[in-house]
Amino acid sequence: MATLVVGYGNTLRGDDGVGYLLAEQVAAWGLPNVKTIACHQLTPELAANIAECDRVIFIDATLPGTQTEVAWRSLSPSDAPTLDAHRSDPAGLLRLTVQLYGNSPSVQQLLLPTAEMEFAETLSAIAQAGLVAAASQLQAFLTTPIPPSG
C-alpha cells in the first residue's frame, strides 16, 4: 500500500512551519512505500501525487491557541465546485484528484497545535511538543501493518 505524507506551512512564520518540519522528519525515516512531500502551500499539481497513492496524510498547523493537542481527522473530497489556482486545501485537492484521475484514496489530516505565527524560524514550546507527539503517533500509524481487505 503506497502512502503519501504531505506536510505544509511557512517555515519563516514560526509555528506555521511545523507541518513542513514533520514531513522532513518522516522523509528521514526512510519507510518503505511512504512518499513524503514538504511544501510551503498546497497547489493543484499535488493531485497527480495523491492519485498514485492508496492513502494520504496531510500535516498542518492549527491557528494559534485553537487546540492544545495533536488531532487526527478523516477527510473527504470537497463539495466546492472551484479550486484556487495558486493554493488549495486538502479537501479541494481530493476533489480535483477524483475529477482528473478517478482515484479517491483514504485521507487523514494531522493537525498540530501552535501558539504564534510571527516572523521566526523557531517553534514555540507548544508547537515543539506537538511536533514530538505527532511524530510518535505518525510513526506508529505508518509502521502498523494494514490488514488485508476483503
For the segment 35-61, what is each residue's pLDDT rounded down to a tens digit? 999 999 999 999 999 999 999 999 999
Confidence check: pLDDT of 138 > 80: yes
Confidence check: pLDDT of 144 > 60: yes
Confidence check: pLDDT of 146 > 80: no
Secondary structure letter of residue 17 according to DSSP: G
pLDDT band at 148 (very low <50, low <70, confident <90, very high): low
**What local confidence, expressed as pLDDT, does residue 85 receive?**
53
Helical pair 125-143 and 18-29, crossing angle rounded to 10 deg: 40
**What local confidence, expressed as pLDDT, does residue 87 receive?**
54
DSSP codes of every residue in 82-139: ---SS---HHHHHHHHHHHH----EEEEEEE--S--SSBSS--HHHHHHHHHHHHHHH
Q: Is 110 exposed, middle or buried (0-12, 13-18, 19+ CB in 10 A)?
A: buried
pLDDT band at 1 (very low <50, low <70, confident <90, very high): confident
**What local confidence, expressed as pLDDT, does residue 9 receive?**
96
> How high is the mean pLDDT of the chain?
91
d(CA 18, CA 21): 5
Q: Which residues pair with 74 in a beta bridge?
A: 108
CATH superfamily of 3-143: HybD-like (3.40.50.1450)
**What local confidence, expressed as pLDDT, does residue 132 receive?**
98
Confidence check: pLDDT of 137 > 70: yes
Reported as a single tens digit per residue, the pLDDT across 64-110 is: 989 999 999 999 888 765 555 545 789 999 999 999 999 999 999 99
The domain spans of the chain are: 3-143
